[in-house]
Amino acid sequence: MNRLATVGLVALGQLALVGVAVAPQISARVAGDTYQLRVQPLDPIDPFRGAYVTLGYPDLQRGDSQGFDGGLGDMTDDEAGDVFITLREEGDVWVADSWERERPDDGPYLACDDRDWQIRCGIESWFLPQDEAAAMERNLVNGAIATVKIDSRGHAAVVDVE
């Protein structure tokens, strides 16, 4: 195989890997339904990581576990892997109904994992321009509502915070 073909195949392979990495977020944004979740700020702007606000979801926390700095907690079942948080509507927002290891058959749910030290759903960070991130953090002190799109497989993406 000639050098040009090899470089082309390597580039195509890398492009495919990028597509696989962002597919859940794209799927949620394109095909997802919109849900409102209550949020609170957790982390100040970090000059080394960029302009973002780390979001906490008080209505998604497990009541029987402690999340670090307001995180979602953990399953406390000595397992690690996929976690599915089913949602139910409560007033104007959606809240956690149950935390399960098996994918639910229906209803809105978040596909998360607890392979690290706590449950992560991929909606914990909201990236903004530097000047807007500082203002957003001040506005979130009293809480806010995140607009999250969730697809049929539980993949989620934050699309707005107000």
Q: How far apart are CA 110 and CA 41, in angstroms?
A: 20
Strand 125-127 with 52-56, pairing: antiparallel
Backbone angles phi, psi at 84, to 5 degrees: -120, 125
Query: Consecutive sets of 10 residues in the chain, 162 residues long: mean pLDDT of each?
Result: 82 73 67 89 61 82 57 70 93 94 92 84 83 73 88 91 86
Q: What are 107-138's pLDDT values in tens digits? A: 899 999 888 777 888 898 888 777 777 777 77
Q: Delimit the domains of the chain by residue range.
A: 3-161
DSSP 25: H
Q: How far apart are CA 136 and CA 144, in angstroms?
A: 10
pLDDT score, position 47? 62
Distance of alpha carbon 48 from the chain centroid: 21
pLDDT score, position 43? 59
For residue 32 the two structure tokens come to 């997802």
pLDDT score, position 50? 63
